[in-house]
Amino acid sequence: MGLGGARPTRTLLSPAGEGGHDPAAPPIALESVTKHYRGGGGIDEVTFEVERGEVFGFLGPNGAGKTTTIRLLLDLIRPEAGKVALFGLDARGSSVAIRRRIGYLPGDLALYDRLTARELLTHFAHLRGGPPWAETEKLAARFDLELDRPIRALSKGNRQKVGLVQALMGDPQLLILDEPTSGLDPLVQHQVHALMREVAAEGRTVFLSSHVLSEVGDVADRVGLIRQGRVVAVRRVEDLRRRSVHLVEVTGKAPFDSDAFARVPGVVRRDLDGPTAHLEVSGGIDPVVRALAGYELEDLSIREPSLEELFLAFYQGGGAT
Amino acid sequence: MNGHLVGPAHRRRGLHSVFERAFDEQRRALVGWAAGLGGLGLVMLGMYPSVRGNRSFAKLLEAYPQALRTLFGLADYTSGPGYLRAEIFSLTGPLLFVIFAILWGTDLTAGEEERRTVDILLANPVSRARVVVEKWAAMVVGVLVVAASLGLVLVLIGPAVKLHVGLVALSAAIVSTALLAVLFGTLGLAVGAATGHRGLARGVTALAAVAAYLLSSLPELVSWLRPARPLSPWYHALGVDPMGTGYRPLHLLVLLAMTAVCLAVATVSFDRRDLAT
Ligand SMILES: Nc1ncnc2c1ncn2[C@@H]1O[C@H](COP(=O)(O)OP(=O)(O)OP(=O)(O)O)[C@@H](O)[C@H]1O
Ligand SMILES: [Mg+2]
């Protein structure tokens, strides 16, 4: 068993380039990756790729397997089956070379509490071959971080900032951020989102996990949804938004017939519940409004669905890509 | 490479490597243990004048059966080497050193896993093997610092109470004790690295240390255990009486070899595991 040295897979996965760097290889590529814990939980057959220069949002409810996937990328845990590659390099065999190029913010962040932020950051800068302190200090200033207090004396949000600064420091080509905005106030969350966009604009890549689609929708180019250990959909955020859908909820004075609205163009889903009908309308809303003219109404609401609803509707209908 | 990293706190505590960080992490404990073992040396030296050349004491001890005298290292109790052997190097000293090393060794990786800081440490481009070896080296240096503290007290203050011990015998006893501690610290590191559980590693390693002590000492009373003695690292360190016989290179080599095996096991098993799960 190698002690972190190169393994044959490295040459297989990376045809050329110095340090095994294949510029065409995606920053992250998972192929049928399976990992189970003793006592249940884990991920099954996870397959997806993250492209260079994008912000990829990894979305899922608590316990879905986000942290598991991320710790597999960092080689902190090892898959039972499947291939994990970063920049075309094997996650295990080339772990050190990979980690030279990534910044990682753990989801369950624990820092060396007795050090000050400055001590921790200079220590890590040394371990990484010394990104200039001036730049790190600029980052810290951007987050308004107190550098000279022991980390244990910082609030949760300020500790999170220390974690973010160490991940961002040295301008890594790939940022892997596990719930980066947890514990941050809205203003700082906004700053973090802005930073992610800047990173992507520079051609670097961001992979972030979250359990709120609205956050991911704001910042990500693409979203992967994971539930119960399976990636069930990967979508472009703009494709989701482009789908113009309206949700209509209408209550009549009398119950609707069972075939009401069935022939109205654009109605993609109908749920009749006594006097109330729930309609999902794709395209223009006009035909539905005309159809409603034939009824006596108690109540009517028309709204656009949240990104969440769009996403869910999408994967229920389409399945994973 | 490090020219830019200048800040006031950085100048005070420049943690360049995993080694330095591991050492810095335990510096308070280290100061305490070094002071404690130096203090032990001082107290023992302070009591020596009442023992030195005391005939009635010698007679009293001669009344004990030979086996018990060897077991408690009482041969020659009123002389300098005999006194140090009995009071420090038969049990108390090595025991304290071994505890110190086990506490540190088991914390190196297992503590990092239990505190969940292993994620942030391995966010850096350092191999797991390097983490294990550098942290181990910090523990070794720590043991040497404590050994130096005890040794200096005995060498510098000993003459003041007319404790006459050859430098070779004394250094042999201290080096043997330190190597024994390093071995158990490394064993603790290995169990911790293989399991990720600090408490478990401490229990297992302490048990091994007690077993090693008994296996080295009991053959004085139970002769059929004698052939098993070479299995005990305690025997190779102190059972062969470095205070009386000086350096025993082959025995020290056995200790070093056992340590090397433990370090190899630590490195390989830490490299293979899922961390902090
Ligand atoms: N160390 C572990 N030992 C056993 N089971 C685990 C372990 N870590 C995670 N699990 C289980 O694996 C599943 C996935 O957990 P994971 O931490 O990857 O979820 P997550 O998507 O990150 O959730 P959250 O949003 O709460 O952070 C869960 O069912 C969890 O209980
Ligand atoms: Mg998580």
Residue A85 forms part of a structural domain: no
Instruction: Answer whether B128 touches A (CB < 8 Å).
Output: yes
Cβ of A37 closer than 6 Å to ligand 1, yes or no, is yes
> In this structure, what DSSP letter does residue B64 have?
S
Residue A24 forms part of a structural domain: no
Distance from CA of A160 to the nearest CA of B (A): 12
Residues A187 and A66 in one domain: yes
pLDDT (0 to 100) of residue A69: 98
pLDDT tens-digit series, residues B225-267 = 889 999 999 999 998 889 989 999 999 999 999 999 999 999 9
Residue A18 forms part of a structural domain: no
Q: Point out the ligand nearest to the CA of residue A107.
A: 2
pLDDT (0 to 100) of residue B21: 96
Residues A57 and A188 in one domain: yes
pLDDT (0 to 100) of residue A2: 38
pLDDT tens-digit series, residues A81-107 = 999 999 999 999 999 999 999 999 999
pLDDT (0 to 100) of residue A188: 93
Average pLDDT of the residues of chain B: 90
Residues A110 and A186 in one domain: yes
Is the ipTM here above 0.95?
Answer: no
R_g over Cα of chain A = 24
pLDDT (0 to 100) of residue B99: 98
Q: What percent of chain A has pLDDT over 70?
A: 89
Res. A10: pLDDT tops 60: no
As a dihedral over the C-alpha atoms of residue A22, residue A27, residue A33, residue A36, rounded to 10 degrees, the angle is: 130
Mean pLDDT of A50-74: 96
Say if residues B125 and A96 touch (Cβ distance below 8 Å).
yes
Confidence of residue A266 (pLDDT cuts 50, 70, 90): confident
Domain total of chain A = 2
Question: Looking up tokens 């920053």, which residue turns up?
Answer: A27
pLDDT (0 to 100) of residue A280: 86
Residues A159 and A64 in one domain: yes
Q: Are strands A81-86 and A28-36 parallel, antiparallel or unpaired?
A: antiparallel
**Top mutation candidate among A66, A176, A182 for ligand 1, by most atoms within 8 Å of CB:** A66
Instruction: Answer whether B92 touches A (CB < 8 Å).
Output: no
Residues A114 and A233 in one domain: yes
Q: CA B146 to CA B174: how far, in whole Å?
A: 10
Confidence of residue B143 (pLDDT cuts 50, 70, 90): very high
Instruction: Answer whether A134 touches B (CB < 8 Å).
Output: yes
CATH of the domain at A199: 3.40.50.300
Residues A67 and A137 in one domain: yes
Confidence of residue A27 (pLDDT cuts 50, 70, 90): very high
Residue A115 forms part of a structural domain: yes
Distance from CA of B230 to the nearest CA of A (A): 31
pLDDT (0 to 100) of residue B13: 61
Which is higher by pLDDT, A166 or A255?
A: A166
pLDDT tens-digit series, residues B183-203 = 999 999 999 999 999 999 999
> In this structure, what DSSP letter does residue B219 have?
G
Give residue A64 CA to ligand 1 midpoint distance, Å. 7
pLDDT (0 to 100) of residue A20: 52
Res. A72: pLDDT tops 70: yes
Chain A neighbors of B6, CB-CB under 8 A: 133
Mean pLDDT of A234-254: 85
Residues A160 and A264 in one domain: no
Q: Are strands A102-105 and A174-178 parallel, antiparallel or unpaired?
A: parallel
Of A2, A116, A126, the CB nearest to B9: A116
Residues A186 and A125 in one domain: yes
Most distant CA pair in chain A, distance:
76
Instruction: Answer whether B127 touches A (CB < 8 Å).
Output: yes
Cβ of A20 closer than 6 Å to ligand 1, yes or no, is no
Closest CA to A205 of A55, A87, A74, A99: A55
Residue A289 forms part of a structural domain: yes
Confidence of residue B54 (pLDDT cuts 50, 70, 90): confident
DSSP one-letter string for B111-151 = HHHHTTTHHHHTTSS--HHHHHHHHHHHHHHHHHHHHHHHH
Q: CA B27 to CA B24: how far, in whole Å?
A: 5
For residue A138, give every residue at least 6 positions away whose Cβ sits within 8 Å of its Cβ, in sequence order, or none: none
Which of A57-61, A158-162, B48-52 is predicted least confidently? B48-52
The whole-angstrom distance between residue A69's C-alpha and the CA centroid of its chain comes to: 11
CATH of the domain at A272: 3.30.70.1560
Res. A13: pLDDT tops 80: no
Mean pLDDT of A21-33: 89
Q: Which of residues 12-41 of A touch B (CB under 8 A)?
A: 37
Domain interval for residue A98: 52-74+94-240
> Which token pair is B201?
């590693």
pLDDT (0 to 100) of residue A213: 81
Tell me which amino acid residue B126 is. V
Residues A213 and A110 in one domain: yes
Residues A158 and A285 in one domain: no
Confidence of residue B134 (pLDDT cuts 50, 70, 90): very high
Which is higher by pLDDT, A70 or A315?
A: A70
Q: Which of B10, B132, B272 to mutate to test the interface with A (most CBs of A within 10 A)?
A: B10
The secondary structure of chain A, three-state, reads CCCCCCCHHHHHHCCCCHHHCCCCCCCEEEEEEEEECCCCCEEEEEEEEECCCCEEEEECCCCCCHHHHHHHHCCCCCCCEEEEEECCEECCCCHHHHHCCEEEECCCCCCCCCCEHHHHHHHHHHHCCCCCHHHHHHHHHHCCCCCCCEHHHCCHHHHHHHHHHHHHCCCCCEEEEECCCCCCCHHHHHHHHHHHHHHHHCCCEEEEEECCHHHHHHHCCEEEEEECCEEEEEEEHHHHHHCCEEEEEEEECCCCCCCCCCCCCCEEEEEEECCEEEEEEECCCHHHHHHHCCCCEEEEEEECCCHHHHHHHHHHHHCCC
Residues A68 and A190 in one domain: yes
The dihedrals phi and psi of A199, each to the nearest 5 degrees, come to: -60, -45
Packing angle of the helix pair A186-201, A156-168 (nearest 10 deg): 10
pLDDT tens-digit series, residues A143-192 = 999 999 999 999 999 999 999 999 999 999 999 999 999 889 999 999 99
Q: CA B220 to CA B76: how far, in whole Å?
A: 17
Ligand 1, atom 29, residue with closest C-alpha:
A41
Residue A80 forms part of a structural domain: no
Instruction: Answer whether A127 touches B (CB < 8 Å).
Output: yes
Res. A15: pLDDT tops 50: no
pLDDT tens-digit series, residues B89-129 = 989 999 999 999 999 999 999 999 999 999 999 999 999 99
Ligand 1, atom 19, residue with closest C-alpha:
A63
- Helices and strands per DSSP (H, E), number in chain B: 15, 0
Residue A36 forms part of a structural domain: no
As a dihedral over the C-alpha atoms of residue B212, residue B215, residue B216, residue B217, rounded to 10 degrees, the angle is: 120
Residues A151 and A295 in one domain: no
Question: Looking up tokens 């969940």, which residue turns up?
Answer: B116
Res. B172: pLDDT tops 50: yes
Mean pLDDT of A69-87: 97
Confidence of residue B49 (pLDDT cuts 50, 70, 90): confident
Cβ of A231 closer than 6 Å to ligand 1, yes or no, is no
Residue A135 forms part of a structural domain: yes
Question: Looking up tokens 């990682």, which residue turns up?
Answer: A104
Res. A119: pLDDT tops 90: yes
Q: Which of A127, A149, A209 to mutate to test the interface with B (most CBs of B within 10 A)?
A: A127
Res. A319: pLDDT tops 60: no
Average pLDDT of the residues of chain A: 87
